[in-house]
Amino acid sequence: MSSKPSSFSLSRRKALGLIAVTAGGGAFLPAAAIAAQSSAGKASSYAGLALFETGAGVCAITPEVTEGPFYFDPKLERADVTEGKKGLALTVRLQVVDTACRPLAGARVDIWHCDAQGAYSGYPGQGDGRDVDTSGQTFLRGWQKTDASGIVSFATIYPGWYRGRTTHIHFKVFPDDSSVMTGQLFFPDSLSEQIFTTVAPYNDRPGKRDTSNASDGIARQAGPLSQAALREVEDAYQALMIVAVKPG
């Protein structure tokens, strides 16, 4: 890609001082704190990261957010969910922890989101003209189980937009067989706007998005700190979040 949107990051001081509470059922620490801790020598690598030191505190649980009308389980355990969909490469990394901030291994994590043109897989009647039918397709969906550090990593693309919603990715976390939480993660409006106006295929569609984080009811409920921490890596981005759940 010849040009990339500017990087969005948090200073170490700011990152370590913020816990973002979302409507998705958990407390999230912006993952810029992960990089900050690593650079400070508190963690040698992301894959082996223990975000909180032993006895670091309590991670608060908050109410869930609606899963929306486009969820189904494609029964696809996979790290790469793109299925050839074009767009800006994005790695989504989630770390699942319990209310004591201890990583949860073996938790199932599902993600799903729309493509660069704003369409979800598996449903008819989408798009600005309601003439898009993706029935039988499974792009941009999948699930994995967390590793020993409570981490899953998905290869996908930056989500597009559709009318009435700001840019977001849905997720579900199943910490065990008897419990589930549902959430959404959000992206900086300025980054989304730059991508949607300058990067193909996002800028190939007509019209402009009509909903920002500030005007999206679910994003407002989630609060201003519910956005993912974004890190630029070569011609791609990483979105990093940590979610605290209460196993059943």
Non-local (6+) Cβ contacts of 212 within 8 A are 166, 189
Compare 112 and 39 and report the one with higher pLDDT: 112
17-21, 53-57, 177-181, 189-193: least confident range: 17-21
In this prediction, residue 224 carries a pLDDT of 55
pLDDT at 200: 96
Map out the domains of the chain as residue ranges. 12-244
If DSSP states are collapsed to H, E and C, what string results for 80-139? ECCCCCCCCEEEEEEEEECCCCCECCCCEEEEECCCCCCCCCCCCCECCCCCECCCCCCC
pLDDT higher at 220 or 64:
220
What per-residue confidence (pLDDT) applies to 150? 92
Burial (CB count <10 Å: 0-12, 13-18, 19+), residue 137: middle
- H-helix or E-strand spanning residue 21: strand 20-21
Q: Mapped to the 3 state alphabet, what secondary structure does 23-50 carry? A: CCCCEECCCHHHHHHHHCCCCCCCCCCC
Which candidate, 85, 156, 160, places its Cα nearest to that of 117?
160
Stretch 6-20: mean pLDDT, rounded? 32
CA distance 5 to 236: 10
Query: Does 188 or 64 have the greater pLDDT score?
Result: 188
Greater confidence (18 vs 145) lies with: 145
pLDDT of 61 over the 50 cut: yes
Does residue 46 have a pLDDT over 50?
A: no
- Reduced to 3 states (helix: H, G, I; strand: E, B; else coil), residue 68 is coil
Residue 247: pLDDT band (50, 70, 90) is confident
Residue 13 pLDDT > 80:
no
CB 59 within 8 A of CB 101: yes
pLDDT, tens digit, 9 for 90 and up, residues 144-195: 999 999 999 999 999 999 999 999 999 999 999 888 989 999 999 999 999 9
Separation between Cα atoms, residue 42 and residue 102, nearest integer Å = 16
**Best mean pLDDT range from 7-11, 83-87, 203-207:** 83-87
Could you tell me which residues come within 8 angstroms of residue 6 by beta carbon, excluding any fewer than 6 positions away?
191, 194
- The Cα 72–Cα 70 span in angstroms is 7
How is domain 12-244 classified at the CATH fold level? Protocatechuate 3,4-Dioxygenase, subunit A (2.60.130)
Select the more confidently predicted residue: 8 or 213: 213
